[in-house]
Amino acid sequence: MEEKEFRQEMQKKVEGIEGILRKYLPEEKGFQKTVLEAMNYSVLAGGKRLRPLLMQETYRLFGGKDKVVEPFMAAIEMIHTYSLVHDDLPAMDDDEYRRGRKTTHAVYGEAMGILAGDGLLNFAFETALKAFSETDSCGAAARALTVLAAKAGVYGMIGGQTADVEAEGLEEVSLERLLFIHAHKTAALIQAAMMVGAILAGAAGEEVARVEKCAYDVGIAFQIQDDILDVTGSLEELGKPVGSDAKNRKQTYVTIKGLEESAKEVDRLSREAADILDGFGGDGEFLKQLVLSLINRRN
């Protein structure tokens, strides 16, 4: 698929995902109206919708055709969004802007920012549970829900965030800890997205395990590429200041292994992820191109 055609197809798919998200967002009414407004403000702030897109395309790769995946697509974007809302809080990164507009706590206040994040996390599972009314295979939906919960929780994203917060107080961060952070904070939700898609489509256990490995490669490569771009990118390309890791004395894969070794690892992980996807057969060309575009991005 040509690059222009891929971009057009991706835009079309993302527009479809926007429609799915809006369908599942809560109605802003009642005494809890403010927190509902804050939740919707957060979700509708924009973004590439990569996790629901990865879920949808993996679902299709394994022959999925029903709407059972849609509540899970909305749910994973809610989980991702809640993590950003909490990341932006004064106790965490203390960011006032995200994607060119004010962050949730900057608009609604710190207390409502906390509640909006809490609300999105809980509402994500309320939404995912709606999949049970969309399928005759409740066993697959239950397995998918188990994966989503685990990858978002203390043994997944929250665990990675914990290790990351504590690493900020360390003079030296080991490669083992850094990879743990990347695997859990970044890769876990990518794994959840692709694994849920595979499970709901009826993929076998061994296939789901291979999808999990592919998504791990994507998540780690994505984060290493982010570290590389912080050194080699430009303000125009990234849309944010470069060199922030060095300025903040933050240890990254690049500071530990160097630019050359980091680039080699991104290339190795890219090829491994692509090979895994090729091994499934089926119509996975768009998914493969999507994965490689994430890893080899310039912004």
pLDDT tens column, 174-194: 999 999 999 999 999 999 999
pLDDT at 248: 53
pLDDT score recorded for residue 237:
45
Read off the pLDDT band of 202 (50, 70, 90).
very high
pLDDT of 163 > 90? The answer is yes
Q: Is residue 195 a contact partner of residue 147, using CB atoms and an 8 Å limit? A: yes
Measured in whole angstroms, how far is the alpha carbon of residue 85 from the centre of its chain? 14
Question: What does the buried/exposed string (b/e) look like for 140-164 if buried means 16 or more CB atoms within 10 Å of the residue's CB?
Answer: bbebbbebbbbbbeeebbbbbbebb
At 40-84, the pLDDT tens digits run: 999 999 889 999 999 999 999 999 999 999 999 999 999 999 999
170 has a pLDDT exceeding 50 = yes
Residues 6 or more apart whose Cβ sits within 8 Å of residue 120: 39, 42, 43, 78, 79, 81, 82, 85
pLDDT digits (tens, 9 = 90+) for 72-106: 999 999 999 999 999 999 999 999 998 889 999 99
Tokens read off for 73:
């697509």
Residue pLDDT, tens place only, 206-265: 999 999 999 999 999 999 999 999 888 654 444 444 445 544 567 899 999 999 999 999
User: Chain-wide mean pLDDT for the chain?
Assistant: 92
Q: Give the CATH number of domain 3-295.
A: 1.10.600.10
Q: Quick check: helix, strand or coil at residue 1? A: coil
Structure tokens belonging to residue 180:
């743990």
Reported pTM? 0.93
pLDDT over threshold 50, residue 148: yes
Q: Which pLDDT does position 136 carry in this prediction?
A: 83
pLDDT of residue 236: 46
End-to-end CA distance of the chain: 21
